Amino acid sequence: MIETADPGQAALGCPECGVHVAPALLACPSCHRLVHAEQLKRLAAEADRATRAGDSSAELGAWRQALDLLPPDTTQHRTVSARVAALSRALDNHPTPAKTGSRWGKGAAGLGAIGVLLSKLKFALVFVLTKAKLLLLGLTKASTLFSMLLSMGVYWTIWGWKFAVGFVVSIYIHEMGHVQALTRYGIKATAPMFIPGVGAFIRLKQYPTDRREDARVGLAGPIWGAGAAAAAYAVYFATHAGIWGAIAHVGAFINLFNLVPVWQLDGGRGFRALTRPQRWIATGVIGVAWWLTAEGLLLLLLVAAAAAAWFGDAAEEPDAASLLQYTWLVAVLSLMTRISVPGAMLR
């Protein structure tokens, strides 16, 4: 999946010592000259330009490409890895879309937990609004658009065109949440591909640096998805058109399902950054949400979360942001599934 040699690398003799170098190797086995030395120099220059322009995401992207071209057990690889980790952490400490939210943020801080919840919700909404351009850009990928239309056609035949369009757009917004986070951290990935009857997926071409990054990328989908469901509910309350309620309800349900902390599901990625005690806290929140809403899906989350807390490969260092995002999503989405909407077929 990772691109290897560039066109200039077709010659297999090492320019330094002339030894034959197999195409998959990153360094000459005899003199240790780096096979991609020229490309690495270009990437370093690119990273340098991005630093001066203050574009951390572009800088991260360049260094990540360099990592793919460096042999893993070298000093250079370790140095660049450390740089990537530091840049990624710095990005988390300086969220970019804060321009419009400072007054709001200050007022909300005084309200404690509810304030955090509200400011997160606001954050998600502002995010969706300001990233409308990104949402439209995603459609320029032919593979995404065609698979999306195919999915729409399948749902159309079952539930009618309005529902089909709303449902697919909901999934699309969820996927673009992942895309936005990946772009922010400079991680290469494929465009979203839709699978009729299942949903959509994105394949990463590079590994996230650490558990924290994995969790941010994973939970970004449900955060955007919850924003989409909230927007659909808002239209439903304003217009009383049942179709919007149905789209919102199914959107909330699908995003909640994605929070089951197993395998490659978004919840599994979110849980990766949680320590054992944090996992038990999340399990407790799921339990309370189930007790309050009686939403059957939460039982599945509860069992999986308890298993992940008990046997799972937990993080060593706590990550408060991942815990907050995960529990906030469980709370908001569970409550959303309780909003009664017309259309018994969806229940």
Interface with Zn ion (CB under 5 A): 14, 16-17, 19, 28, 30-31, 33, 221, 266
Closer of 11 and 345 to Zn ion (Cβ): 11
User: Least separation, in Å, of the C-beta of 112 and Zn ion?
Assistant: 30
**Identity at 21, one-letter amino acid code:** V
Closer of 17 and 111 to Zn ion (Cβ): 17
Closer of 47 and 265 to Zn ion (Cβ): 265
User: Least separation, in Å, of the C-beta of 92 and Zn ion?
Assistant: 19
User: Least separation, in Å, of the C-beta of 183 and Zn ion?
Assistant: 15
Closer of 220 and 243 to Zn ion (Cβ): 220
User: Least separation, in Å, of the C-beta of 287 and Zn ion?
Assistant: 24
Closer of 83 and 205 to Zn ion (Cβ): 205
User: What string of H, E and C letters represents the secondary structure of the chain?
Assistant: CCCCCCHHHCCCECCCCCCECCCCCCECCCCCCECCHHHHHHHHHHHHHHHHHCCHHHHHHHHHHHHHHCCCCCHHHHHHHHHHHHHHHHHHHCCHHHCCCHHHHHHHHCCHHHHHHHHHHHHHHHHHHHCHHHHHHHCCCHHHHHHHHHHHHHHHHHHCHHHHHHHHHHHHHHHHHHHHHHHHCCCCECCCEEECCCEEECCECCCCCCHHHHHHHHHHHHHHHHHHHHHHHHHHHHHCCHHHHHHHHHHHHHHHHCCCCCCCCHHHHHHHCCCHHHHHHHHHHHHHHHHHHCCCHHHHHHHHHHHHHHCCCCCCCCCHHHHHHHHHHHHHHHHHHHCCCCCHHHC
* Burial (Cβ within 10 Å: 0-12, 13-18, ≥19) of residue 124: buried
Closer of 19 and 139 to Zn ion (Cβ): 19
**Cα 194 to Cα 129, 166, 175, 202, distances in angstroms:** 23, 14, 10, 9
Closer of 222 and 245 to Zn ion (Cβ): 222
User: Least separation, in Å, of the C-beta of 29 and Zn ion?
Assistant: 8
User: Least separation, in Å, of the C-beta of 33 and Zn ion?
Assistant: 5
Phi, psi values for residue 130, rounded to 5°: -75, -20
User: Least separation, in Å, of the C-beta of 30 and Zn ion?
Assistant: 5
User: Least separation, in Å, of the C-beta of 202 and Zn ion?
Assistant: 8
User: Least separation, in Å, of the C-beta of 14 and Zn ion?
Assistant: 3
Closer of 30 and 239 to Zn ion (Cβ): 30
List the one residue out of 147, 157, 159, 249 whose CA is nearest residue 201.
147
Closer of 254 and 314 to Zn ion (Cβ): 254
CA distance 239 to 132: 23
